[in-house]
Structure 1
Amino acid sequence: MFKTILLAVDMNDLPESGHVAEAAVRMAQCEGATLHVINVIPGSGMAMVGSYLGPDQANVIKAEAAEKLTAWAAEAIPAEVLGELHVMQGTIYHEIIKMAQKVGADAIVVGANRPALKDYLVGPNAARVVRHAPQSVLVIR
């Protein structure tokens, strides 16, 4: 049913992402699917902040995140299901959906924390992925 799965992880919250990765790995193994992994670095927000940091700092942050993601994936994702690792920067839910389209994902696996009151009003990234993605989305708590 699923041939390509996109797993979204938060490298700043790896202890919480562990069970999400386990679910995605099991799903990929059962389906014989390839598992792509994405980590999105939130955008710098205001243009003024981005221009202050400069492109060199953004590249350093991205490189550090890619290194951390590679090390984590080597331990958490079996080689037989691992596709590509992707580190993007921007709006989290938008980058997840965009990457799912790019890799031809049939499903997206995301983690979700227990929602706070503000999340009911603003909406967490997982909820936005569910609302906007054309693929099936599995949300792991």
Structure 2
Amino acid sequence: MYKKIIVPVEIGGIEKGEKIFRKAAMLLDNGGEIILLNVVEDIPTYVAIELPGNVVEGAMKEGRDRLNELVAKTGIPATVEVRNGPPADGILAAAESHGADLIMIASHIPDFYNYFIGATADRVVRHARCSVLVDR
């Protein structure tokens, strides 16, 4: 069905990421590609002053390691990618740069401001140039 699927995974919710990763594999065409993506948020300057200088780099390494473990655990072939910045922007940029035809994203329990699907998923749905599947 789809040739290139972006599957963003929040490392703190790796179980949801695994669930979506397995679903993505079922929707992938023969010869297609899944890109497992983790986006590490930048730390505001006023907070970064109090933290060691390599916090973002450490988080990016942890994200890459955890996604590689997920690939090994499931046996599903995928490309692992880690970016930093605002999550929605990173997901949209990855979809654009890879020419994705689907983004599969998890939605958490939203707060009042993002009642229906959650802040990141909401932004991705509104701004993506490809299809988006939101999983609950």
TM range (shorter): 0.7 to 0.9
Cα offset for 1:71?
0.8
Partner of 2:102: 107
Aligned CA distance change for structure 1 residues 113 and 60 (closer, same or farther; 3 Å)? closer
C-alpha distance in structure 2 between counterparts of 1:70 and 1:60, whole Å? 15
Aligned CA distance change for structure 1 residues 134 and 60 (closer, same or farther; 3 Å)? same
State the identity as a percent.
Answer: 26
C-alpha distance in structure 2 between counterparts of 1:4 and 1:25, whole Å? 11
User: Which runs of 5 or more residues in structure 2 are unaligned?
Assistant: none
User: Which runs of 5 or more residues in structure 1 are unaligned?
Assistant: none
**SS in structure 2 opposite 1:61?**
helix
Partner of 1:21: 21
C-alpha distance in structure 1 between counterparts of 2:83 and 2:75, whole Å? 19
TM-score, with length taken from structure 2: 0.86
> How many residue pairs end up in the alignment?
135
More helix by share: 1
Matches of residues 46-65 of structure 1 in structure 2 within 5 Å? 46-53=44-51, 55-65=53-63
TM-score, with length taken from structure 1: 0.83
Deviations 1:99-123 (A, max 9, x none): 11111111111011243323239x5
Partner of 1:34: 33
C-alpha distance in structure 2 between counterparts of 1:18 and 1:53, whole Å? 31
* 1:2 aligns to 2:14 (yes or no): no
